[in-house]
Chain A
Amino acid sequence: MKFTKLAAAAVAAVITAAPVMADLVVPSLSYRTGPYAAGGIPFADGYADYLTLINERDGGVGGEKITMPECETGYNTEKGVECYEATKGEGALVYEPLSTGITYQLIPKATADDIPVHTLGYGRTSAKNGDVFSHVFNYPANYWDGASGMINYLLETNNNDINGKTIALVYHNSAFGKEPIRTLEELGKKHGFKLTLLPVDHPGQEQKSQWLQIRREKPDYVLMWGWGVMNQVAVQEAANVRFPMENFIGIWWSGADHDVLPAGAAADGYKAVTFHGVGSDFPVYDDIQKYVVDAGKAAGSGDTVGSVLYNRGLYAAMLAVEAIKDAQAATGKSDITAGDLRDAMEGLEITEARMESLGLGGFGPEFKVTCENHGGDGLVGVAQWDATAKTWSLISDFKPTDGEVIDALIKEDSEAYAKENNIESRCN
């Protein structure tokens, strides 16, 4: 009898777990646990806090409150699937999974369910080709822009000549880390630098051999595609082998405060590319302080406000909210569907004036999404870490990347996907 009772209770608990339908549902597939939590927490906090701000200050979007069911994925694809299925039924409008692995899974599923997926600076790069990937958006920049932005920066600082230079890529041995390889190889052919690949296995705590190799081969530059605990370890190891920090450039996921703080003064001069502003010197932060933090409604422990990844989470939420506004304007109703939102995302235009009005003037680049281009213009800047002031600062403005190389690669990869999955051209 005990067992049957337990089983009945279990079944009841699982069944009743789906909460009530809400107004505008923007789920957050976050990860606050596991080896990638260091990055997942500030991003999730920023995402949640901006949505809270919209609810508290503006009473939601167009009079509709936003609810944000949060689901813990632990950066694990199986849990990601469960989270997607669990939140899908609540009328989710848009997904921001913050994991390349989960993104790959959601691309076909979300497309079939008519729910847009926004992958802000991660995920499948060739999703920029909206002609093939109808429901996936990766504006304002993608990994190949990041790779090209790094090389452009090196060109700039070397009088446009990096012929014969050696560049090592330290990357997370996963779909995420492998993304830039092809672009860097192409760029290597174009500019004549030599690329060394150094994969680091999940979770990335073990990098001694990679950095020994760097010490031995002494590459001119080291680029890094790292995430989670891997970043801190890499910066520390670079310091240990006395690799000059100013020649060490990370992708935007390897350029947060917590990545460089553990190495202390040794991390001074480390660089990372970025596609949005740094610091909390924007008017929107006053509102966040007033309506969210001081009101005791901050997500998590509330200690991540203004950090790099918090900014990025906030940026992601801002772009989602702007798209919701567009969708409401286009359909004339406040209670939009995921399909309406997808259409609005496809026409989203972020201008300086619009960001200014949101209290985020100069925070990110201007861009416009079209049916063919789901990835924006791919403008990439470079930020540098100052270990004494403990701040990041932009040392190179948002600049265009090598569209010629990237567009060809995007075309090749997306067309291969279209062919594999029998996707027909839908634009024009």
Chain B
Amino acid sequence: MFYREAGDFKTTYADDSQTFPIKFDRYRYWAVLAFAFLVVPFIINDYWLNAVVLPFLIYSVAAIGLNILTGYCGQVSLGSGGFMAVGAYACYKFMTSFPGMDIFSVILLSGFVTAAVGILFGLPSLRIKGFYLAVATLAAQFFLVWLFNKVPWFYNYSASGQINAPERTVFGYAVTGAETHAWAVYLVALIFVVVLAVIARNLTRGSLGRKWMAIRDMDIAAEIIGVNPMTAKLSAFAISSFYVGVSGAMFFVLYLGAVEVGEAFGIGKSFIILFMVIIGGLGSIFGSFAGAAFMVLMPVLLKNVMVGQLGWATDLAAHFEFVIVGGLIIVFLILEPHGLAQLWRLAKEKLRLWPFPH
């Protein structure tokens, strides 16, 4: 009744190939965007920004990045944490070397640097597949963390090896450093997330995305029908790393402000992002958002319920958090192996048929 194609006539090719072909989807999309841009900035405060919204936005970008590589192109990667570190350190070096550069260019440039590094570490994918590739990307993870710890140039020879984000402003409002306004930081992150998500969605619908999916589904067949595996795989690595690098840069400048590579970008980060992609749904942009929301919101929610509402001891709550989140992951993977995105798809199917389910 709400969600159906009937009555929505497409008269041009542009209409026919738009991102959301169904009217209800389109309106929902615009409503979400309007809410995010016009309502949230007025109600957001420091707690919501730093505990919930900002990590969600940043992890969403990382999850989209990994989803491009793993979900669309079928190349398993355990190096996301390392690539986020590349983005963060590139960002730090740009910010300290070129103090006049604005934050948008810095973050984008960090993404490009990460893309170059990603191509480098994507080269083994031309020869090895599956678990072996996962191990090769794992090597990238450990190598990059080691590198940023070992070479003092990356952290400007500071005594502690920490990198700190200096203050940068957008239209006179500080978005990094200490004197930030929640809404300004939120808007910067939101702009990146929306633009990158739209680009990712369209890339995956276009010829590049189809090549990736062909490689994912059967690389030999793809090669036979004329997909060049080298450009397809390396472009997936490059674009994926770009996304992950941008998220790493935002993670550093907008969110934490001070970062230490082993602690912030360790192997745990790679796993969390991989979990987001798997729980959210492989090969789905919406799934990346859903997965990021699940992994970010669930621990905060559980903590607030158990400690804030029930008054449990903090250590007990923390242990229960592991148990519950872990349990939920297993339950999800058993009941819905295709992730939250599949639940959403099923819900849309139901909506389409409602109120006559047969």
Name A's B-contacting residues (CB within 8 A): 10, 13-14, 16-19, 30, 32-33, 37, 41, 70-72, 74, 76-78, 81-82, 85-86, 88-89, 100-101, 104-105, 107-109, 111-112, 124-126, 173-176, 178-179, 181-182, 199, 201-202, 300, 409, 413, 416, 420-422
Contact of A78 among B47, B55, B305, B309 (CB under 8 A): B55
| Residue of B258, B259, B300, B303 ringed by the most chain A CB atoms within 10 A | B258
Q: A residues within 8 A CB of B52?
A: 14
The answer to whether B262 touches A202 (Cβ under 8 A) is yes
On chain B, the residues within 8 Å of A16 by CB distance are 308-309
Query: Residue of B at shortest CB range from A125?
Result: B159
Scan residues 246-264 of chain B and give those whose CB is less than 8 A from a CB of chain A.
255-260, 262-264
Contact in complex: A82, B46 (CB < 8 Å): no
For the complex, is B331 an interface residue (Cβ under 8 Å from A)?
no
Which of B47, B260, B262 touches A201 (beta carbons < 8 Å)? B262
**Which residues of B lie under 8 Å from residue A199 when comparing CB positions?**
149
Q: Which residue of A lies closest to B308 (CB)?
A: A17
CA distance A416 to B178 in the complex (A): 17
Instruction: Tell me which of B178, B255, B258, B304 contacts A14 (CB under 8 A).
Output: B304
Within B289-310, the residues touching A (CB, 8 Å) are 297, 300-301, 303-305, 307-309
Q: Does B25 contact A (CB under 8 A)?
A: no
Q: How many angstroms between the C-alpha atoms of A57 and B344 in the bound complex?
A: 58
Q: What is the CA–CA distance of A101 and B261 in the complex, to the nearest angstrom?
A: 11
B-side contacts of A182, CB under 8 Å: 159
A177 → chain B closest CB, angstroms:
9
Complex interface: chain A residues within 8 A of B177 (CB):
108, 421
Contact A175 B47 (CB under 8 A): no
Choose one: A30, A85, A175, A422; the contact of B161 (CB below 8 Å). A175
Residue of B55, B257, B263, B315 touching A202 (CB-CB under 8 A): B263
B179 at the interface (CB under 8 A from A): yes
Cβ of B257 and Cβ of A174 under 8 Å apart? no
Q: How far is the CB of B200 from chain A (nearest CB, A)?
A: 24
Question: Would A174 and B260 be within 8 Å (CB), given that A32-B318, A33-B319, A85-B51 are in contact?
Answer: yes
Q: Please classify the interface of chain A as helix (H, G, I), strand (E, B), loop, or mixed, using the class held by over half of its residues.
A: helix
Taking A30-B314, A37-B315, A85-B46 as given, write out 4 further A-B residue pairs in contact, using a Cβ cutoff of 8 Å, ordered by the A residue number: A13-B305, A101-B263, A108-B257, A173-B149
6 closest Cβ contacts across the A-B interface? A32-B315, A108-B178, A17-B304, A17-B308, A175-B160, A112-B178
By beta carbon, the residue of chain A nearest B160 is A175
Q: Please report the C-alpha to C-alpha distance between residue A32 and residue B52 in the assembled complex, in whole angstroms.
A: 23
CB of B79 within 8 Å of the partner chain: no
Q: How far is the CA of A37 from the CA of B167 in the complex (A)?
A: 34
Q: Which residues of A contact B266 (CB under 8 A)?
A: 202
B residues in contact with A74, CB < 8 Å: 318
Query: Which one of B49, B164, B167, B304 contacts A104 once the chains associate, using CB atoms below 8 Å?
Result: B164
Q: How far is the CB of B331 from chain A (nearest CB, A)?
A: 15
Q: Is B273 an interface residue (CB 8 A)?
A: no
Report whether A179 and B50 are in contact in the complex, using a CB–CB cutoff of 8 Å. no
Q: With the chains together, A139 CA to B112 CA distance in Å?
A: 44
Question: Using Cβ atoms and an 8 Å threshold, which residues of chain A touch B319?
Answer: 33
Contacts of B307 in A (CB 8 A): 70-72
Partner of B304, one of A13, A72, A420: A13
8 residue pairs of the A-B complex, CB under 8 angstroms, read A10-B301, A77-B256, A77-B260, A82-B50, A85-B46, A88-B47, A181-B159, A202-B262
In the complex, whether B162 has a CB less than 8 A from a CB of chain A is: yes
- Smallest CB gap from B299: residue in A: A79
The contact string, 1 if C-beta is below 8 Å from chain A, for chain B 141-180, is 0000000010000000011111010110000000001110
Q: Which residues of A contact B158 (CB under 8 A)?
A: 413, 416
User: Is B317 an interface position by the 8 A CB rule?
Assistant: yes
Q: Which of B166, B258, B262, B317 makes the CB contact (< 8 A) with A174? A: B262
Q: CA separation between A17 and B300, bound complex, in Å? A: 10
Contact call B318/A101, Cβ cutoff below 8 A: no
| Chain B residues whose C-beta falls within 8 Å of the C-beta of A108 in the assembled complex | 164, 177-178, 257-258
A17 proximity list for chain B (CB < 8 A): 304-305, 308-309
Which chain A residue has the least Cβ–Cβ distance from B45? A89
How far, in angstroms, from A77 to B260 measured CA to CA in the complex? 9
Most A CB contacts (10 A, CB to CB) among B149, B160, B167, B305 go to: B160
Q: Is the CB of B256 within 8 A of A81?
A: yes
Chain A's closest residue to B261 (CB) is A174
- Report whether A420 and B166 are in contact in the complex, using a CB–CB cutoff of 8 Å: yes
For A107, what are the chain B residues with a Cβ–Cβ distance below 8 Å? Answer: 258
Q: Which residue of B lies closest to A72 (CB)?
A: B314
A410 to chain B, nearest CB (A): 10
Q: Which residues of A sit under 8 angstroms from B256, Cβ to Cβ? A: 77-78, 81, 105
Identify A109's interface contact among B178, B304, B315, CB under 8 A. B178
**1/0 contact string of B35-51 vs chain A (CB within 8 Å):** 00000000000110111
Question: Given A14-B300, A108-B178, do A70 and B314 touch, yes or no (CB 8 Å)?
Answer: yes
**CB-contacts of B211-267 with A (<8 A):** 255-260, 262-264, 266
Whether B260 contacts A101 by the Cβ 8 Å rule is yes
A88 in contact with B46 (CB, 8 Å): yes
The closest CB in chain A to the CB of B268 belongs to A76
Chain B residue contacts of A202, Cβ below 8 A: 262-263, 266
Chain B residue at minimal CB-CB distance from A13: B305
Question: In the complex the two chains form, is B162's CB within 8 Å of A175's CB?
Answer: yes
Bound Cα distance from A421 to B50, whole angstroms: 22
Query: Given A13-B304, A14-B304, is A72 in contact with B260 using a C-beta cutoff of 8 Å?
Result: no
